[in-house]
Amino acid sequence: MTTKQLSIQRYLPEQGSAPYWQDFDIPFDDSTSILDALNYVKEELDGSLSYRWSCRMAICGSCGVMVNNTPKLGCKSFLREYEGPVKIAPLAHFPVEKDLIIDMEPFLDHLAAVQPYLINDSGLINGSGESEETFKQTPEQMEKYKQFAGCINCGLCYSACPQFGLNPEFLGPAALTLAHRYNLDSRDQGKKQRMPQMNREEGVWSCTFVGFCSEVCPKNVDPAAAVNQGKVESAKDMLIGIFKG
């Protein structure tokens, strides 16, 4: 079996403060993912390497890392795709806690800030029978937001966004996409509540449409489109606000 060199950025806060690079030789074949390679390191070479992973089928969103400076899901990228040595680092633009583990709290705070849930007064059913009906929503109505509902919260788009890198207060692609997803949902009545967050400077207007977020998104959610559609909505909302006084 051929091997490939993996350089992993290590950071061990309990043993000194500076990150450093460590090289490993990994045997691989066509099916070896970056995650497989990390598991190989942990199980065979260095048990102290820390990273997150779980489903290994690109749906849980745990295993995001920088592979040669590009954010990737470890389970969905393969060693065969890379010529020469492969550099693995923690996701960019987040505080690094240990090795490849980043602090997800900023991400979750931003997510929660946009009220990412269906807002509709008749949301809770009582189970007594009378309101045991679903909302009606045609496939066309669903089509409007379906793509934006595919976000797995992996955080790759934040690592791809220089605006988030420059200003961690920027709500960022995933959170704004989720807000837009609910705003577009025919069952939702919460747009009015969400717009103030989106209208802020740290809302949609921090985005300069670099577009890399959509490029790296492993689920083709196209957050850049959502955020910039959000700008149109925000502009409309602010204009209406002006006319209403």
The interface with another protein within residues 104-133 (CB under 8 A) comprises 104, 108, 111-112, 115-118, 120, 122-125, 127, 132-133
* Positions in 1-30 near another protein (CB under 8 A): 11-15, 17, 19, 30
Q: Coil, strand, or helix at residue 51?
A: coil
Query: Which CB, 82 or 225, lies closer to another protein?
Result: 225
Query: Which CB, 82 or 165, lies closer to another protein?
Result: 165
* Nearest-approach distance from CB 23 to another protein, in angstroms: 18
Interface with another protein by CB under 8 A: which range of 39-47, 169-177, 191-199, 237-245? 39-47
Q: Out of 23, 25, 81, 143, name the contact with another protein by CB under 8 A.
A: 143
* Nearest-approach distance from CB 245 to another protein, in angstroms: 28
Q: Are 157 and 196 in contact (CB under 8 A)?
A: no
* Nearest-approach distance from CB 20 to another protein, in angstroms: 11
Residue of 26, 43, 155, 28 lying closest to 90 (CA atoms): 155
Q: Are 91 and 159 in contact (CB under 8 A)?
A: yes
Residue reference for tokens 């890392």: 65
State in Å, rounded, how far the first CA of the chain is from the last one.
71
Q: How many Å apart are CA 174 and CA 214, to the nearest integer?
A: 10
Interface with another protein by CB under 8 A: which range of 20-28, 44-52, 197-205, 234-242? 44-52
Q: At 124, give phi and psi (nearest 5°).
A: -95, 125
**What is the amino acid identity at position 81?**
E
Q: At 97, give phi and psi (nearest 5°).
A: -90, -45
Residue of 120, 149, 160 lying closest to 136 (CA atoms): 120
Number of residues counted as binding another protein (CB under 8 A):
95
* Positions in 50-109 near another protein (CB under 8 A): 50-62, 69-70, 76, 92-93, 95-99, 101, 103-104, 108
**What is the amino acid identity at position 102?**
I
Interface with another protein by CB under 8 A: which range of 169-177, 194-202, 219-227, 235-243? 219-227
Site string for another protein, 149-178 (x = CB under 8 A): xxxxx--------x--xx-----------x
* Nearest-approach distance from CB 141 to another protein, in angstroms: 7
Strand 96-98 to strand 86-89: parallel, antiparallel, or no bridges (unpaired)?
A: unpaired
